[in-house]
């Protein structure tokens, strides 16, 4: 088929489309009789009485959170069976000095439960043993961000951060991190 044929066919299709579109548009039919304009209804205005503002109450002190409410283990936190299995495998790999295997197992567990602070803490511990101080610090900080004020987890994370800072040669930073861990361990109610 030639180019001229295709041009002609496209024009025919375009015209047919325009006609179909024009046929779909409806025009108002003029019957010759005017339609009356709608009359507005008279509605009385609604008057609302002024609201009484509640009396100001004195602030109530919130009780300190009970430290018994926080889980101390991954099992107590309610981790799934798959995550617990990977966690245990990672602990066995770590004990055997197979840090790469342990890291892989913990990363698989994080794909299942990415907000589990116990897995992040275990990842920080393995990174620290593998002499990856910066990764250990990052994982410990991530664990604390998901710990929701759990003083047991946060104290452990601060200890990991202290050890990582010492490994990096930051003795003042290590002292500060260990002091924070000691505060949390001595008085868990001081957790932020």
Q: What is the CATH number of the domain that holds 128?
A: 1.25.40.10
If one counts the domains in the chain, the total is 1
pLDDT of residue 161: 95
Where helices occur in 62-168 by DSSP H, the ranges are: 81-95, 99-112, 117-129, 133-146, 151-167
Quick: pLDDT tens for 132-157.
999 999 999 999 999 888 999 999 99
Structural domain of 169: 78-190
Q: Say what the pTM is.
A: 0.63
| Residue 43 domain flag | no
Distance, CA of 76 to chain centre: 22
- Tell me whether residue 88 is in a domain: yes
How sure is the predictor about 129, in pLDDT bands with cuts at 50, 70 and 90?
A: very high
Q: Average pLDDT in the 11-20 region?
A: 68
Domain presence at residue 115: yes
Q: Look-up: residue for tokens 């002024």?
A: 50
Is residue 117 within 8 Å of residue 144, measured between CB atoms? yes
Instruction: Establish if 50 belongs to a structural domain.
Output: no
Mapped onto helix, strand or coil, the DSSP state of residue 26 is: coil
Q: Cα(190)–Cα(151) distance, rounded to whole angstroms? A: 8
Residue 184, in any domain of the structure: yes
Residue 18 in any domain: the answer is no
pLDDT (tens digit per residue) in 45-54: 666 656 665 5
Residue 109 lies in a domain: yes
- Could you tell me if 156 and 121 are in contact, meaning their C-beta atoms sit under 8 angstroms apart? yes
Whole-angstrom Cα distance, residue 136 to residue 86? 19
Report if residue 37 sits inside a domain. Answer: no
Average pLDDT over residues 75-86: 91
CB 87 within 8 A of CB 74: yes
Q: How far is it, in rounded angstroms, from Cα 160 to Cα 182?
A: 12
Q: How far apart are CA 43 and CA 186, in angstroms?
A: 70
* Cα–Cα distance, 157 to 87 (Å, whole number): 17
Does pLDDT of 62 surpass 70?
no
Cα separation of 37 and 55, whole Å?
52
């Amino acid at each position: 088929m030639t180019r001229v044929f295709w041009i002609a066919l496209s024009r025919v299709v375009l015209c047919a489309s325009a006609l179909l579109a024009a046929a779909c548009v409806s025009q108002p039919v003029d019957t010759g009789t005017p339609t009356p304009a709608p009359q507005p209804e008279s509605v009385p205005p609604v008057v609302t009485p002024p609201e009484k503002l509640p009396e100001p109450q004195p602030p109530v002190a919130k009780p300190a959170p009970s430290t018994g409410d926080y889980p101390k283990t991954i099992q107590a936190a309610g981790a799934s069976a798959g995550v617990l299995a990977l966690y245990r495998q990672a602990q066995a790999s770590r004990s055997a000095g197979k840090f790469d295997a342990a890291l892989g197992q913990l990363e698989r567990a994080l794909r299942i439960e990415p907000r589990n602070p116990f897995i992040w803490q275990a990842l920080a511990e393995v990174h620290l043993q593998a002499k990856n101080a910066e990764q250990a610090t990052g994982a410990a900080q991530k664990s604390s961000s998901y710990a929701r004020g759990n003083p047991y987890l946060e104290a452990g994370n601060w200890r990991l951060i202290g050890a990582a800072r010492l490994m990096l040669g930051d003795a003042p930073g290590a002292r500060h991190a260990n002091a924070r861990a000691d505060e949390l361990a001595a008085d868990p109610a001081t957790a932020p």
